Amino acid sequence: MNKAGFILGSMLLAMSASVAFSTGCGGESSTSTTGSGGSTSSTTSTTTTVGTGGTGGGAAATCADYCTENLANCKDATKQWPSQDSCLAACATFAAGTPGDTSGNSLACRVYHTGAAKMDAATHCHHAGPTGGDQDPTDAVGGPCGEGCEAFCNIAQAVCTGANAQYKSAAECVAECGKFKASPAPYSTADTAADTFGCRVYHLSVAATDAASADTHCAHIVLASTTCTM
């Protein structure tokens, strides 16, 4: 082979190698999917597209979720419910509300404050309990999670029934509840004897536990209670 032929052959060989490399490395694509919050991500060459989905305010909590967390976060001086059964029965009377609500007489509001109580129980536990944070039923100002007498009477109408019924109607209950003395401190299950709104809430919460408890405690929720007298 002469010199010109050798050079031409070398050039053709180099061109073939270059074509082969381009075919193997160019045009690569990858696709990845991430299930967090409904987000997907796909990448082709250097282009990335991201789509975001999800539920916005989050899924609604159940009474079981609420009661379990509330009993875990609110203990001792900030305890709101005497037992899981008591909490579940009372919770059934709460309006659902909208997930993420921070105010209003609803389960959603109590769920929010129950979560916040993990970091600050003294501030949030009584907001998340049966009173909604309302200490004074004699005024028109409710707590962060609603008017205390509204919540109290909804529970009373569901728990103290039949021979244990103390009020003929919710309206009658609300009218009498407005005469209960204000609680001097945020509500907790330690309010067992004083002549206050909180004491009557406590006995109502115990009455919600079961039928036997209702037989004993429903009589203590009224203005003329012989237990809430101190």
Confidence of residue 206 (pLDDT cuts 50, 70, 90): very high
Which residue matches tokens 């009218």? 175
Q: What is the tens place of the pLDDT at every residue in 150-189?
A: 999 999 999 999 999 999 999 999 999 999 999 999 999 9
Residue 171: its H or E element: helix 170-177
Does residue 24 carry a pLDDT above 80? no
Sign for the CA dihedral angle at 104, 109, 110, 113 comes to: negative
Does residue 221 carry a pLDDT above 60? yes
Asked if residue 186 lies in contact with residue 198, where contact means CB atoms within 8 angstroms, the answer is: no
Does residue 211 carry a pLDDT above 80? yes
Helix then strand then coil, in percent of the chain rounded to 5, is: 45, 10, 45
Instruction: Give CA separation, 213 vs 63, 115, 190, 220, in Å.
Output: 20, 29, 17, 11
Nearest of 120, 214, 116, 132 to residue 165 by alpha carbon: 214
Residue 174: its H or E element: helix 170-177
Does residue 91 carry a pLDDT above 50? yes
Work out the end-to-end distance of the chain between its first and last CA atoms, rounded to an integer number of angstroms: 120
Does residue 92 carry a pLDDT above 80? yes
CB atoms within 10 A of CB 85: 14
Q: What is the tens place of the pLDDT at every residue in 95-147?
A: 999 999 999 999 999 999 999 999 999 999 999 999 999 999 999 899 999 99
β strands within the chain, DSSP E: 29-33, 40-44, 47-51
Buried b (16+ CB within 10 A) or exposed e, 199-227: bbbbbbbbbbbeeebbeebbbbbbeebeb
d(CA 178, CA 148): 9
- Tell me the average pLDDT across 60-82: 97
